[in-house]
Amino acid sequence: MIDRRILLASLAGLFGLAAFRWLRATPAQAAEKFEIEKTDAEWRAQLTPQQYEILRKQGTERPGSSPLLKEKRKGIFACAGCDLPLFSSETKYESGTGWPSFFTTIPGVFDNKTDYKLILPRSEYHCIRCGGHHGHVFDDGPPPTGKRWCNNGVALRFLPRDTKK
Ligand SMILES: [Zn+2]
């Protein structure tokens, strides 16, 4: 009987330890670290109210509202929060959704997480350098990737390629 009690106590201890580890791991994962980290007040001072709403509060701009939808020049689309180059004009396409769309990104510039804001899970992506939210990636894009990176235009800064050289 005693042996059994010791066994049960040990098992409870093991489960307790596992639960404790899990509880400790969760907040650590939630607090992602970025190269550029600013206080909320600093972001508010740097960004326009619309940029702040999208980059820092995971907002979404009104479809059809971005001047970048009509941007046809060659160049780079950079993060409006930290200037990290995110997309090349060669990967931009007209998706008909009302948001600037790309079939791929410059490699390694985004991190993903799943959000449930519209009940169905969506794959949110954010800038790897400043953590700014940019949009969602879907599986209905054109070849060669089949991906649609649906980006808020307000979160991007377009840098036209210098054609004079
Ligand atoms: Zn950024």
Q: pLDDT of 34-51, one tens digit each?
A: 999 999 999 999 999 999
The identity of residue 35, as a single letter, is E
Residues near ion ligand 1 (CB < 5 Å) are 79, 81-82, 84, 127, 129-130, 132
Distance 141 CA to ligand 1 centre (A): 24
Residues 6+ apart with CB under 8 A from 144: 103
Residues belonging to the active site:
150
What is residue 119's predicted lDDT score, i.e. its pLDDT?
Answer: 81
What is residue 8's predicted lDDT score, i.e. its pLDDT?
Answer: 60
- Sites in the chain below the pLDDT cut of 50: 20-29
Inter-residue contact 161 to 76 (CB < 8 Å): yes
The model scores a pTM over 0.85: no
CA 6 from centroid of its chain's CA atoms: 49
Distance 19 CA to ligand 1 centre (A): 35
Distance 56 CA to ligand 1 centre (A): 10
- Rounded Cα distance, 51 and 126, in Å: 14
